[in-house]
Amino acid sequence: MRNIKLVIEYDGTAYSGWQSQDNSVGIQEIIEKAIRKTTGEKVKLIGSGRTDAKVHAKGQVANFFTNSNIPGDRFVYALNIKLPYDIQIIESEEVDLDFHSRFSAKRKRYRYVIYNGKILRPLYRNFSYHVGRTLDIEEMKKTMDYFIGEKDFESFMGRKSIVHTTVREIYDMEIIQNDEFIEIVFEGKSFLKNMIRIIVGTLVFVGIGRIKSEDVEKIIKARKRSLAGPTAPPQGLFLEKVYYD
C-alpha cells in the first residue's frame, strides 16, 4: 500500500465544488474516476478541504492509497490524460503512509479577487467578483486588522454548518490593489464554511460605507451571522496553496 499526494489546479466554474451534490458532479469524484481508470482501484480521495461550487484552486492538495506500481511522480501524466482540461494535476509524489491532506495541513492560503471597474469584464467574469461601486480601500485595510488572530468567527459562518467550535485563527491578511483589481489574501490553519466569502462581503460593505470599520469588532463579538455583510460570490475565490511540514 502506497500513499500518493496530488497538487491540483481547477477552474471550478462547471462544478458543484470539491464534493458532488445531488444534481451536479464534484471535482473529487472526477479525479476518483480518473484514478479508477488508471489503477483499476476504487479509491477514496482525501482533499485538504472542500471548496464551494464555482470556487477555483491553483494548489488544492489531496491524497489516496494505492497498490499500483506507478511511480509517484508519474501520476501527473497518467491522470491528466484522463481528466478534463478544467481539472489537472500539477504535481504528484509518493508520501509517508501517515500523510493526510487535511489533518497534516499546517496552513492554507486563499486569494479573493474583486474587479472594481464600472463595467463587468467578460474575460474575468468567472474569476472575479464585480463590484461597480467605488471602494474605500484604506478603510478596508484598516478593517482587515480586526480579523487577524484567533477569534470566534461565528458571525462569519455559512448557515447549516455543524462544527465543534467556531474559533479559527487567521495568521495573516493582505489587500493588494492592481489598477481596478483588488486582491485579498488570507492565510490560516483552517476556515469555517463560507468564512472567507463572508469576510470579503463584510469588507466590501465597509468599502462602500454600509458597515463602519469600527463596528466590525462588535460584529465579531456578537457571534451573529445576520450582523455581518453578505456572502461574496464564489467565482472570485482561489485556494492557492496548502502548506505541510
Among all residues, which ones are annotated catalytic?
A: 52
Q: Select 151 or 241, whichever has its Cβ closest to its own copies.
A: 241
Q: Select 58 or 82, whichever has its Cβ closest to its own copies.
A: 58
Sign of CA dihedral 222, 189, 213, 54: negative
Tell me which residue has cell 462581503: 201
Least separation, in Å, of the C-beta of 151 and its own copies? Answer: 31
Least separation, in Å, of the C-beta of 95 and its own copies? Answer: 19
Task: Count the Cβ atoms, other than its own, within 10 Å of residue 241.
Answer: 18
Binding site for its own copies (CB under 8 A): 9-11, 56, 58, 76, 80, 85-90, 119-123, 125, 127
Q: Select 123 or 162, whichever has its Cβ closest to its own copies.
A: 123
**Contact between residue 17 and residue 55 where contact means Cβ atoms under 8 Å apart:** yes
Least separation, in Å, of the C-beta of 132 and its own copies? Answer: 11
SS3 of 145-164: the string is HHHCEEEECHHHCCCCCCCC
* Euclidean distance between CA atoms 151 and 245, whole angstroms: 24
Q: What are the residues facing 60 on neighbouring strands? A: 8
